[in-house]
């Protein structure tokens, strides 16, 4: 079959998280007993009060195109949420609702970057950042961090990575994949460097904000001097277990929000109407309504850390948020396990899939080739079984 795909698509990598999830599904269909710890997707059902709001929205005939940037009532709820949870004041002209935070990120890249603009990505970074930046003809610039610094970028590293072409910095806190959470003091340190470089913008991906076991999420937009140069990205996929409903949003300087709305007007016409109505209810609810999920993730994190900590060769940090562990498994490189030589993290992840029937994701996709990512958004039973299987084959 001939291949007429554009260079753009040929040069793009497939999302490693989604690819691994698809591979696990395929193997399961072949009858294999695969435990999937590859996808960052809460295993909870959507809370009933949100489902009720969606049902009501159908009955109330919310079936037409919505405003491109989102229903006014939803933007009001987002504005109140930013104020309540983050102490940030975003007016309606600064908020854009999109079909998932992933689309919000894509919009930002397309709206802010010119070809050749550099985007600093503290690595490990979320798998899609690099390809989204490249799609917008930007240049990802990785800043390597490792387990010894809890996978966080220091002000000195940031300073050293800045060039005259640097246009943006993208990061997530709590971080996917490392689970690291930047403290206020750490963010202030980064902001101090940025003071000297007024043309650099920040994308602060806060989609795991509520899944934070250390308490005290801090938004970099709230730090002195940062508000006018930060885009705060968030969404409902993680905290409300609404991955398939595809709603994300930004609070941004007005010119960026305007650009994103213009782009969306030509690409999607706006996010799904029923999902938007349901999200109004989700965001208006107090965080206490979803605390049971956060508590459960916390419990599972401790369980997973304890069990993986017993396996020789797994070097772990203590993730303070999100629902991933990101062990450094480089101790296995060069070793042969059951006839398979492990040369890198991809070999190791494949080995676990084939020999333990456990799906994880290679750290290479996140810009760290010494680690693998294990999502603990799975039941306690599955987690225990998966780690026992891993232990048995390594
Ligand atoms: N940012 C991060 C850090 C993520 O882990 C995800 C995972 N889906 C997203 C953004 C995108 O979320 P969604 O598009 O489902 O809102
Ligand atoms: N963000 C999740 C993950 O990292 C979901 C998959 C995706 O959107 O790529 O696994």
Do β-strands 358-359 and 35-36 pair in parallel, antiparallel, or remain unpaired?
Answer: parallel
Domains, the chain, ranges and CATH?
7-45+290-393 (3.90.1150.10), 48-285 (3.40.640.10)
Contact present, 393 and 356 (Cβ < 8 Å): yes
- Whether 344 has a pLDDT exceeding 90, the answer reads yes
Between the CA of 18 and the centroid of ligand 2 the distance, in Å, is 7
pTM value? 0.96
pLDDT tens-digit readout, 261-273: 999 999 999 999 9
Q: How many CA atoms lie within 13 A of 5 on its CB side?
A: 8
Mutation choice for ligand 2 from 40, 42, 208, 321, CB with most ligand atoms inside 8 A: 40
Paired with 144 in beta bridges are 123
Which position has the token pair 């939803």?
A: 74
Do β-strands 372-375 and 361-362 pair in parallel, antiparallel, or remain unpaired?
Answer: antiparallel
Q: CA 278, 280, 285, 286 torsion: positive or negative?
A: positive
Closest ligand 1 atom to residue 236 Cα is 16
- Whether 381 has a pLDDT exceeding 70, the answer reads yes
pLDDT tens-digit readout, 146-191: 888 999 999 999 999 999 999 999 999 999 999 999 999 999 999 9
Q: CA 68, 71, 72, 75 torsion: positive or negative?
A: negative
Which of these, 129, 131, 121, lies nearest to 169 by C-alpha position?
121
Hey, whose CA ends up nearest to atom 1 of ligand 2? 40
């Amino acid at each position: 079959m001939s291949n007429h795909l554009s260079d753009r698509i040929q040069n793009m990598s497939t999302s490693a998280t989604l690819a691994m999830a698809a591979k696990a599904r395929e193997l399961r269909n072949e009858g294999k007993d695969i435990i999937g710890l590859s996808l960052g997707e809460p295993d909870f059902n959507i809370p009933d009060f949100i489902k009720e709001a969606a049902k009501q929205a159908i009955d109330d005939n919310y079936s037409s195109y919505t405003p491109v940037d989102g229903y006014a009532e939803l933007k009001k709820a987002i504005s109140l949420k930013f104020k309540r949870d983050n102490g940030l004041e975003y007016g309606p002209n600064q908020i854009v609702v999109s079909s998932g935070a992933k689309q919000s990120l894509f919009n930002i890249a397309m709206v802010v970057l010119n070809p050749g603009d550099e985007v600093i990505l503290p690595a490990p970074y979320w798998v899609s950042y690099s390809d989204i930046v490249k799609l917008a003809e930007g240049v990802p610039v990785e800043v390597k961090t490792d387990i010894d610094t809890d996978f966080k970028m220091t002000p000195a590293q940031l300073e050293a990575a800045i060039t005259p072409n640097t246009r943006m910095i993208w990061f997530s806190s709590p971080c996917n994949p490392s689970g690291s959470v930047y403290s206020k003091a750490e963010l202030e340190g980064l902001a101090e460097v940025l003071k000297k470089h007024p043309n650099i913008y920040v994308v602060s991906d806060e989609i795991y904000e509520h899944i934070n076991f250390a308490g005290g999420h801090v938004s970099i937009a709230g730090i002195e001097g940062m508000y006018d140069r930060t885009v705060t990205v968030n969404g409902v996929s993680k905290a409300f277990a609404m991955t398939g409903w595809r709603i994300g949003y930004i609070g941004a300087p007005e010119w960026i929000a305007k650009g994103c709305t213009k782009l969306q007007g030509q690409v999607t016409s706006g996010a799904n109407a029923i999902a938007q109505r349901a999200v109004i209810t989700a965001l208006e609810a107090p965080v206490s309504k979803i605390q049971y999920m956060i508590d459960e993730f916390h419990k599972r994190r401790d369980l997973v850390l304890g069990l993986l900590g017993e396996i020789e060769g797994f070097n772990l940090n203590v993730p303070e948020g999100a629902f991933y562990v990101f062990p450094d498994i480089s101790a296995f490189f060069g070793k042969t396990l059951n006839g398979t030589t492990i040369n890198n993290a991809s070999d190791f992840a494949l080995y676990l899939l084939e020999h333990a029937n456990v799906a994880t994701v290679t750290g290479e996709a996140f810009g760290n080739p010494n680690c693998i990512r294990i999502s603990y958004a799975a039941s306690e039973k599955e987690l225990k079984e998966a780690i026992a299987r891993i232990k048995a084959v390594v």
